[in-house]
């Protein structure tokens, strides 16, 4: 019986990869890559000469079972995506499911992912959060935002530069202009930047500064009933002072 390794790759700086990840990439019988050109650059950077095969969202329906069968027969494979951890807003789930169904062991190496440094550096509570990834582009988008309106946990979203301002404007409509937010771009890259403040301030910033790069958005959760009651009492005391 073989094995599948899910190998996180750097989201920016190529030094953000573990020694174990490099060892797995060197020793695997085959590396499955979301984009063989992108992964080829990473392998070349570390002088790793190994076989690459494309496995992405456009072919995984056709390839997952075949690769799982080969691993069940004894091959060891490593799955990488363009950046970050496979299966987290990236291809991989179908292959993992096929492996589990065949009894193939799956190991996910710890490593790079964009949302963890974003929430840790946000200044927004991070002991409990919900990862939403990319919102639906069209159908179901408004419905999902409405469902999240009362979410009390911190929320994490991914967004592309050309949709960022539209998304932030929708957030203002859904969560209100005063909700706290942290918008981080190009995590671990040369031009990494974080914008912290209210929803309205974030909209103003990116209206004046064209969004560039890939974004992680961290949104403060709604007040719990107890928090809302405390704020109400505090406001009443201030009004009566």
Residue spans in the chain of domains classed CATH 3.30.950.10:
115-226
Asked if pLDDT for residue 227 goes beyond 80, the answer is: no
Q: What is the pLDDT of residues 166-183, one digit of tens each?
A: 999 999 999 999 999 999
What are the DSSP E strand ranges found in the chain? 3-6, 30-33, 52-54, 76-80, 105-108, 129-133, 154-159, 180-185, 193-198, 215-219
3-108 topology per CATH: Cobalt-precorrin-4 Transmethylase; domain 1 (3.40.1010)
Indicate whether 240 pLDDT > 80: no
Q: Is the pTM of this model over 0.75?
A: yes
Q: Cβ contacts of residue 194 below 8 Å, gap of 6+? A: 121, 122, 182, 183, 184, 185
Q: Where in the chain is the domain with CATH 3.40.1010.10?
A: 3-108
* Residue 228 predicted with pLDDT over 70: no
pLDDT of residue 233: 72
User: Which residues have C-beta within 8 Å of that of residue 221, sequence separation ≥ 6?
Assistant: 125, 151, 152, 153, 154, 155
Interval 125-142: pLDDT, tens: 999 999 999 999 888 999
d(CA 24, CA 144): 38
pLDDT one-digit tens code per residue, 39-91: 999 999 999 999 999 999 888 889 999 999 999 999 999 999 999 999 998 99
Q: What is the separation of C-alpha 182 from the centre of its chain, rounded to a whole number of angstroms?
A: 15
The per-residue pLDDT of the chain, averaged, comes to: 93
Q: What is the pLDDT of residue 237?
A: 73
> Can you tell me the mean pLDDT for 129-158?
94
124: Cα within 13 Å, side-chain hemisphere: 32
pLDDT at 224 over 90: no
Q: What integer pLDDT is reported at residue 236 of this predicted model?
A: 65
Please tell me the class of the 115-226 domain: alpha beta
């Amino acid at each position: 019986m073989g094995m599948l390794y899910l190998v996180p790759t750097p989201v920016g700086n190529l030094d953000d990869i573990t020694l174990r990840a490099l060892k797995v990439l060197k020793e695997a019988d085959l590396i499955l890559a979301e984009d063989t050109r992108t992964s080829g650059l990473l392998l070349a950077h570390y002088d790793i000469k190994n076989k690459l095969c494309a496995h992405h969202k456009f072919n995984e329906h056709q390839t997952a079972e075949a690769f799982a069968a080969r691993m069940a027969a004894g091959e060891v494979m490593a799955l990488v995506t363009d950046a970050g951890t496979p299966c987290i807003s990236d291809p991989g789930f179908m292959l993992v499911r096929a492996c589990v169904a065949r009894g193939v062991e799956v190991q996910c190496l710890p490593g790079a992912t964009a949302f963890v440094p974003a929430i840790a550096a946000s200044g927004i509570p991070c002991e409990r959060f919900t990862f939403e990834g990319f919102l639906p582009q069209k159908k179901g988008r408004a419905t999902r935002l409405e469902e999240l309106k009362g979410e009390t946990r911190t929320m994490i979203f991914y967004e592309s530069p050309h949709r960022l301002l539209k998304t932030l404007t929708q957030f203002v409509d859904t969560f209100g202009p005063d909700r706290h937010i942290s918008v981080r771009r190009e995590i671990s890259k040369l031009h990494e930047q974080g914008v912290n403040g209210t929803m309205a301030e974030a909209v103003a910033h990116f209206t004046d500064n064209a969004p560039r790069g890939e974004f992680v958005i961290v949104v403060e959760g709604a007040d719990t009933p107890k928090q809302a009651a405390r704020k109400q009492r505090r406001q009443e005391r201030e009004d009566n002072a």
